[in-house]
Amino acid sequence: MDAVPELGEIARTARVVALPMVTRFRGITVREAMLFEGPEGWTEFSPFVEYDDREATAWLAGAIDYGWRAAPEPVRDTVPVNATVPAVDADEVAAVLERFPGCRTAKVKVADPGQTLAQDVARVAAVREALGPEGRVRVDANAGWGVDAAERAVHALAPFDLEYVEQPCASVPELAELRERIAYLDVPVAADESVRKADDPLAVAEAGAADVIVVKAQPLGGIHRVLDLTRRTGLPVVVSSALDTSIGLAMGVRLAAAMPELPYDCGLGTASLFTGDVVDAPLRPVAGALPVGRCRPAPTLLDRYAAPPARFDWWMERLGRVHAVLAASAPA
């Protein structure tokens, strides 16, 4: 990447926010994020709190890429997005989908710890019923199954006409084996964690372990790096988010807008999972799509959702450590 800006330049405008969520998602009810302003505008650094400094380094590179480097020119003005359905009970599905007006696609969380396959089937069935036969339903297991469990689950869920199953297993060899086992079901396999958490993000494509890759701008080091990565994989791409604020979502939308081809609706509508945001007009779907453009936080909302002082200090210390790792790896 280009030269890393000085820590003081980043820290000068840094704010930390804590956004409450509509329902528990990915095990959390409040999403923390650090925001700061670069020459190109506001950007976001928000690796999940359990991620170590090494993993968080790519997230900081992504934030710097968006804040300090001009984004590629978009090839579209809007980006179609999917609804995201957490691991809720089936009778809660309709209320969740109402938060995503006009979305023709839904991504449904499955394999949540402590839940059963029967609960997953009921949830997916409720989504299919709500969307109708023309809607698109994809499921995301977040690497929650082994190969045998994944095969059983995909067999049980296949009658609901799945668009694909995302990260059903953890490792690339497991994905490759599962993909071979379920070929008769005609359910594509998508890889997320096997791309963004891998030492070699190209390995999943080289192993023939996925039909689709899911990419996220911040965790993969920024818009420019992701565009290069996707060109090299040669696989269809879904651009998704990592529970970003609207600042980070705008980064993802800009990435999706620069993709030469965008065959799938993108997982960038997740601002609808928050009860508040840092911009006056949050990036929530309208007619199933999001506009392309930067977002600027409102000072009043930065104050309203400011994280407690102890959490601000925690994030500033984390920023300092991760910045040191990133700066040490940057070219002289």
Instruction: Please tell me the predicted confidence (pLDDT) of residue 112.
Output: 94
Q: Which residues pair with 18 in a beta bridge?
A: 32
CA distance 257 to 320: 32
CA distance 77 to 272: 21
Residue 61 is inside which H or E element, if any? Answer: helix 53-68
Nearest by Cα to 137 from 15, 311, 264: 264
Give residues with Cβ within 8 angstroms of 116, minimum separation 6. none
Q: Are 31 and 21 in contact (CB under 8 A)?
A: yes
User: Which of 15, 109, 138, 323 is the catalytic position?
Assistant: 109
DSSP state, residue 293: S
Please indicate if the annotation marks 148 as binding a ligand: no
Q: Are 203 and 176 in contact (CB under 8 A)?
A: no
Rg (CA), the chain: 19
Q: Are 88 and 274 in contact (CB under 8 A)?
A: no
Backbone angles phi, psi at 296, to 5 degrees: -120, 130
CATH superfamily of the domain spanning 7-70+299-329: Enolase-like, N-terminal domain (3.30.390.10)
Class of domain 78-291: alpha beta
User: Which of 216, 224, 225, 318 is the catalytic position?
Assistant: 216
Longest dimension (CA), the chain: 57
Q: Is 107 a catalytic residue?
A: no
CA distance 262 to 74: 12
DSSP assignment string, 115-139:
--HHHHHHHHHHHHHHH-TTSEEEE
Residue ranges of domains in the chain: 7-70+299-329, 78-291
DSSP state, residue 183: G
Q: Which residues pair with 72 in a beta bridge?
A: none
Instruction: Please tell me the predicted confidence (pLDDT) of residue 278.
Output: 98
Instruction: Please tell me the predicted confidence (pLDDT) of residue 332.
Output: 62
Instruction: Please tell me the predicted confidence (pLDDT) of residue 198.
Output: 82
User: How open is the CA angle 97-98-103, to the nearest 5 degrees?
Assistant: 60
DSSP state, residue 242: S
Please indicate if the annotation marks 192 as binding a ligand: yes
Nearest by Cα to 83 from 41, 4, 138: 138
Q: Which residues of the chain have pLDDT under 50?
A: none
As a whole number of Å, the end-to-end CA separation of the chain is 11
pLDDT digit string (tens) for 77-107? 999 999 999 999 999 999 999 999 999 999 9
Read off the tokens for 209.
């372990």
Q: Are 251 and 244 in contact (CB under 8 A)?
A: yes
